[in-house]
Structure 1
Amino acid sequence: MSRADRPPRCPRCNLAIHLCLCAEIPQVETRTRFLLLQHVLETAKRSNTGRVAALALANAKLLIVGGMTEALDTSLLSEPGTWLLFPDGPVAPPDAPAPKQLVVLDGNWSQARRMTQRLPALRALPRLVLPPPEPGMLRLREPSHPAGMSTLDAIARAVALLEGADVAAPLERLAALRVQRIADCGTLN
Structure 2
Amino acid sequence: MRSRTPEDLAGRCPRCFLPAALCLCAEVPCVSTRTELLIVRHHKETLKSTNTARMAALAIPRCNIVSYGSPGVPFDASILEGDDTWLLFPDAHHEPAPGAAFPSRLIILDGSWGQARRMVQRVPALRRLPGLKLPPPAPDSRRLRRPPHPDGMSTLEAIAGALAYLEGEHIAQPLHALHEQMIDRVLASRGRNT
Unaligned runs of 5+ in 2: none
8 Å CA contact 2:147–2:153 kept in 1: the answer is yes
Tell me, yes or no, if structure 1 residue 182 matches structure 2 residue 183.
no
Distance 1:44 1:69, change over 3 A: farther
8 Å CA contact 2:92–2:131 kept in 1: the answer is yes
1:134 to 113, 138, 161: 138
Matches of 2:98 and 2:17, distance apart in 1: 38
Spell out the pairing of 1:160-175 with structure 2 (5 A cutoff): 160-175=164-179
Tell me, yes or no, if structure 1 residue 60 matches structure 2 residue 63.
yes
Matches of 1:69 and 1:127, distance apart in 2: 29
What's 2:150 paired with? 146
User: What is the alpha-carbon root mean square deviation over aligned residues?
Assistant: 2.3
Matches of 2:174 and 2:72, distance apart in 1: 32
1:45 to 45, 48, 52: 48
- Shift of residue 19, structure 1, vs aligned partner: 2.1
- Shift of residue 50, structure 1, vs aligned partner: 0.7
Number of residue pairs the alignment of both structures matches:
187
- Shift of residue 136, structure 1, vs aligned partner: 1.8
SS in 1 for 2:48: coil
Residue identity matched to 2:135: P
Distance 1:166 1:123, change over 3 A: same
SS in 2 for 1:80: coil
Unaligned runs of 5+ in 1: none
**Overall identity of the aligned pairs, in %:** 49
Moved over 4 A (4+): 1-4
Matches of 2:162 and 2:38, distance apart in 1: 13
- Shift of residue 94, structure 1, vs aligned partner: 3.5
